[in-house]
Structure 1
Amino acid sequence: MHILSVSLRLTGSLLALASLAAPAIARAQGAPQPLVPPVFSQPPASATTPAAAPSAPPPVVPTAPLPPVPLPKLSAAQTDFLRSWLAGGREQGLTARRASGPALSGDALARAALDRASALYRGRVDTADFLEVWALRPAQYDPLPGFVAAVQGDRLPQWTASLTPRYAGYEGLRAGLATYEGIRDSGGWPMLDAKSTPAAIRARLAIEDKTGTAGEPLTAALQRAQRRYGLNPTGLLDARTIAALNVPVDDRIAAIMANMERWRWLPRSLPVNRVQVNIAAAVLTVFEGDAPVTSMRAVTGSPGNETPMLVSNIHSIVVNPPWNVPASIAKRELWPKGRATLIRQGYRIVGTPETGERIVQPAGPNSALGRLKFDFDNPFAVYLHDTPARAKFASYDRLASHGCVRLEKPVSLAELMVQADPLLAGQVQALIDKGKTQRVQLPQQVAVYLLYWTAFASANGTMNFRADPYNWDRLLAEKIEASSRRAATIALASGN
């Protein structure tokens, strides 16, 4: 996606929204990466390899299994360093509270260090314990070679520092975690209600927000808090603002832990040009050169119709797409209306009762997919698309789809993706106006990330939170804690 001359720029309010809703993904180090990683690369087809002349199979020679690589011997200084490092799991969001236990040494300490390294590099929770819709799978990682080299070269501090994600978003969460743990350890915050005094409200806001000034109107401080929570910044202490302020600090910590874990699932470097959706905030952001350049509101899956977390590549755009209604939606929402009503509303029923019937909504201005559909491979049959229902984009509650991502400005996004093709650049609306259904292959596939960010830090270090509509934060935080406890138990059982 060549978008170095992006013509689409949103208003200041939406750019501010992008800076909040899409956490910073700027690299702390490393060179730019290619546009699209081979996420779905396949091995070459065997048909392309010339057939070899038949021959007798080689004799089977039994081989003994390779001996396990011995763990390196640790010096006294290295032992002290690793013990201290392992005690810092709370700082990395691997446990909500500092754990204590007998000091490990020797091979038991080395195994505990390898386990911690794996947790920091690719996540604490094993992928076997993921929900199906957590389809963002971290890469495999073997920490042993690096650990052995670090011990032998006496470079354990450098090795351990290299394990965490090198993203500003992760570092911001790590700093935020320390802040909120400090708030918790100091007693948390008081609960507010509609009768709270201005002094009580100011005191509550100041616990999280240190950017206020003397004599600042209370409405300005409330607006700042509402923006941090993704609420309509009215400056009034309404019910939703009270609810956000009354979220227990332990839940805020759980959200930070969960989002740190999701950062650990990401590859060590992202394509510098990509489309990224924050599912929880319902915002799509276009990144160019690893910096957000434009953003638009989106509508994502409602609770019960969760938009999955995944990574893929947008390979084509369908202009004037028909909607092949998924069987689950047809059964739940359309078939109960009756065949006559469906036909009257413009749906077509394809097939026969004997062979199986399905419902299709023809392309047109009233199609649920609107005029554009952005296709990318995934096992959930979700995609980005236009919609004729525009009112929801003005709302601060935009989780209302069946799992796909509806776009506020799909034509502008399509123009960005095709502008490298001289035959397509500037022609998207003309293709739509023809009314013909056609698939447009992109000149270059575009990486797309559907991510679930509910906690992220602003450039000044202030934490921002979004609602956890799918209740994934607490669940993931509990899985992190359970996995950490299991790892500690195994380490202790291995002996010294």
Structure 2
Amino acid sequence: MSKYWVGTASALALLAGCNVQDQPAQNAATSNAEASQNASWDGKTTDQLRKAIANRAAHGLDGKQFAIAGDGQEALTQAALAYAAALARGATDPTKLYDVYTVPRPEGDLRAGLQQALANKDVAGWLNSLAPQDANYRRLSQVYLELRKQPAQAQPAVADTGDAIKPGSTDPRVPHIARQLAALDYLDAGAAQGDRYTPAMVAAVKKMQSDYGMESDGVIGAEALAILNQSDDMRARAIAVNMERLRWLERSPPQTRIDVNVAAARLSYWRDGKLVNSRRVVVGEPDTETPQLGSPMFRLVANPTWTVPRSIQEKEIANKGPGYLKANNMVWKDGWIVQEPGPKNSLGLVKFDMQNEHAIYLHDTPAKPLFAMVQRARSHGCVRVEDALGFAQMLAEQEGVVDEWNKARATGKETFVKLPRQIPVRMLYQTVLFDDSGAPIVRNDPYGWNDRVSEALGFKGPASMRVKTGAADVGP
């Protein structure tokens, strides 16, 4: 049954199949079904469709055309279904934009929904119901429309001379930087004092750097200037891309789930519909990206071993020699390098096993300092969890397997603890986050994945800003 529409005809047909209706009710159901199936376009519903398509910028879809190819009934129906599909599932197909995309997507019988909307003469209401209804989506829509009203930026607001501006120094670009900081709501208007880079401006720059996923050192170099010079058009395209990504997602996700925002390197744990925990993670570096997966977690692994993948073995360990293997508690087993359990194991002391064909999972790590870094795209694709043991303990307690988990840990050997129910995990990619006031912040796009979505939405020009993250270590 459609997630977007519960049709009178289909609902009554199900009841009739259970023989719970008397004959008059069955006749009424048949009559309603026929009326819905035979509903057609008239002047009112046609006008509703045309207005909805004309206002598609509210969904960041003004780069796409949804032309009504003629005045006939079928032309109107095809245009309505195309626009409805864009709102309900996205105007683009992520499985064609990315090599891997398995996050659950919305489903629904849009044709049946359209027929019911025509019967009710409320095509506008039906179309409005298809896009995400949450506050974040509405905020993105509002900001997108506001940005589209701004005049095009002819040249960069702040010149990039190649010289970094350090706290306390003077530079002729400071007044221009102050105006940009004020425009981005990081600084009160008029706070600049001539050409001097004041403490108030330093604090504003640090906040901006933190919001955009950069090292918040207050030094205005090339990366900070890229943010200050980010045009309204680029910000608008990034917001449109993230609205599209929200439309890709099912409207009623599992109440208990784990969401990993790969772009922001953050994990969110939802239980019974409430956000109960959030923590930092380390994700794949740009050459070994963490894919957008929908994959259930089915067990905890205490004291895991790590069988080194061939790619890592050949590129990073092949020339190390036996001394390196011994120092890192690695041995050869059946032609593979295996790292034994222990504090040096690259998986740390716990692995969260997930069911997918890409060998992607969550795990602990001995490289704890990575979590303190702002840019955390540094793994070979798997997701390292901050305080993974604490997270495992939380899951074990809430899932009723804490005794089994504690015993497994105490063995010091690789031991598996099956969860009584699988916990859905979604690897998402959102480059627009919200600050404390609810305002959207367009952040770093570490993989450069915004541009391909933007182009598919019909926009020209970049929709992303990338920041270098540094090299990964040997771990997965």
* TM-score with structure 2 setting the length: 0.78
Q: Tell me by how many angstroms 1:72 deviates.
A: 4.5
Deviations 1:117-152 (A, max 9, x none): 011111111355231222325244331111111111
Deviations 1:99-121 (A, max 9, x none): 69788533212211111101111
* d(CA) in 2 for partners of 1:370, 1:463: 35
Q: Is the 8 A contact 2:84 2:127 kept in 1?
A: yes
In the alignment, is residue 207 of structure 1 matched against residue 183 of structure 2? Answer: yes
Q: Is the 8 A contact 1:146 1:159 kept in 2?
A: yes
Match of 1:436 among 407, 413, 425: 413
Q: Tell me by how many angstroms 1:423 deviates.
A: 5.7
Q: Give the match's secondary structure for 2:313.
A: helix
Deviations 1:54-89 (A, max 9, x none): xxxxxxxxxxxxxxx988432112212211111222
* d(CA) in 2 for partners of 1:430, 1:176: 52
Matches within 5 A, 1:119-198: 119-127=86-94, 129-183=96-150, 185=152, 190-193=157-160, 194=165, 195-198=171-174
Q: Tell me by how many angstroms 1:172 deviates.
A: 2.4
* d(CA) in 1 for partners of 2:124, 2:205: 43
Q: Tell me by how many angstroms 1:180 deviates.
A: 2.5
* d(CA) in 1 for partners of 2:320, 2:143: 50
Q: Is the 8 A contact 1:279 1:307 kept in 2?
A: yes
* d(CA) in 1 for partners of 2:360, 2:70: 48
Residues 111/93 of structure 1: CA separation in 2 closer, same or farther (3 Å cut)? same
User: What's the counterpart of residue 224 of structure 2?
Assistant: 241
Q: Give the match's secondary structure for 1:164.
A: coil
User: What's the counterpart of residue 267 of structure 1?
Assistant: 250
* d(CA) in 1 for partners of 2:445, 2:249: 20
Q: Is the 8 A contact 1:411 1:428 kept in 2?
A: no
In the alignment, is residue 348 of structure 1 matched against residue 314 of structure 2? Answer: no
Q: Judge which range, 175-184 or 381-390, deviates more.
A: 175-184
Match of 2:71 among 100, 105, 120: 105
Q: Tell me by how many angstroms 1:447 deviates.
A: 2.0
User: What's the counterpart of residue 418 of structure 1?
Assistant: 396
Deviations 1:428-482 (A, max 9, x none): 5664343121001123322211111101333634221221111110111112228
* d(CA) in 1 for partners of 2:430, 2:360: 19
User: What's the counterpart of residue 381 of structure 2?
Assistant: 403
Q: Is the 8 A contact 2:213 2:375 kept in 1?
A: no
* d(CA) in 1 for partners of 2:42, 2:301: 62
User: Any unmatched runs of 5+ in structure 2?
Assistant: 5-35, 166-170, 193-199, 460-476
Match of 1:375 among 330, 348, 353: 353
User: What's the counterpart of residue 493 of structure 1?
Assistant: none
In the alignment, is residue 228 of structure 1 matched against residue 211 of structure 2? Answer: yes
Residues 283/224 of structure 1: CA separation in 2 closer, same or farther (3 Å cut)? same
Q: Tell me by how many angstroms 1:282 deviates.
A: 0.9
Higher relative contact order (CA 8 A, sep 6+): 1
Q: Judge which range, 327-336 or 100-109, deviates more.
A: 100-109
Match of 1:316 among 299, 304, 309: 299
Alignment-mate amino acid for residue 117 of structure 1: A
* d(CA) in 2 for partners of 1:263, 1:133: 17
User: What's the counterpart of residue 117 of structure 1?
Assistant: 84
Q: Tell me by how many angstroms 1:214 deviates.
A: 6.7
Q: Tell me by how many angstroms 1:398 deviates.
A: 0.7
User: What's the counterpart of residue 15 of structure 1?
Assistant: none
* d(CA) in 1 for partners of 2:38, 2:44: 17
Q: Tell me by how many angstroms 1:236 deviates.
A: 4.1
Q: Is the 8 A contact 1:347 1:361 kept in 2?
A: yes
Q: Give the match's secondary structure for 2:430.
A: coil
Q: Judge which range, 468-477 or 231-240, deviates more.
A: 231-240
* d(CA) in 2 for partners of 1:405, 1:423: 23
Q: Tell me by how many angstroms 1:387 deviates.
A: 0.4
Q: Give the match's secondary structure for 2:286.
A: coil
User: What's the counterpart of residue 330 of structure 1?
Assistant: 313
Q: Give the match's secondary structure for 2:102.
A: coil
* d(CA) in 1 for partners of 2:102, 2:154: 37
User: What's the counterpart of residue 446 of structure 1?
Assistant: 423
User: What's the counterpart of residue 29 of structure 2?
Assistant: none
Matches within 5 A, 1:10-49: none
Q: Is the 8 A contact 1:411 1:429 kept in 2?
A: no
Q: Is the 8 A contact 1:209 1:462 kept in 2?
A: no
Identity across matched positions, percent: 34
Q: Give the match's secondary structure for 2:287.
A: coil
User: Any unmatched runs of 5+ in structure 1?
Assistant: 1-28, 30-68, 352-356, 483-496
Residues 234/118 of structure 1: CA separation in 2 closer, same or farther (3 Å cut)? same
Match of 1:455 among 429, 432, 435: 432
Q: Give the match's secondary structure for 1:443.
A: strand
User: What's the counterpart of residue 469 of structure 1?
Assistant: 446
Residues 456/422 of structure 1: CA separation in 2 closer, same or farther (3 Å cut)? closer
In the alignment, is residue 277 of structure 1 matched against residue 260 of structure 2? Answer: yes
* d(CA) in 1 for partners of 2:399, 2:304: 21
User: What's the counterpart of residue 73 of structure 1?
Assistant: 40
* d(CA) in 2 for partners of 1:171, 1:277: 22
The aligned length equals 409
Match of 1:85 among 52, 65, 71: 52
* TM-score with structure 1 setting the length: 0.75
Alignment-mate amino acid for residue 323 of structure 1: W
Match of 1:307 among 290, 301, 305: 290
Q: Is the 8 A contact 1:189 1:249 kept in 2?
A: no
Q: Judge which range, 221-230 or 446-455, deviates more.
A: 221-230
Residues 429/105 of structure 1: CA separation in 2 closer, same or farther (3 Å cut)? same
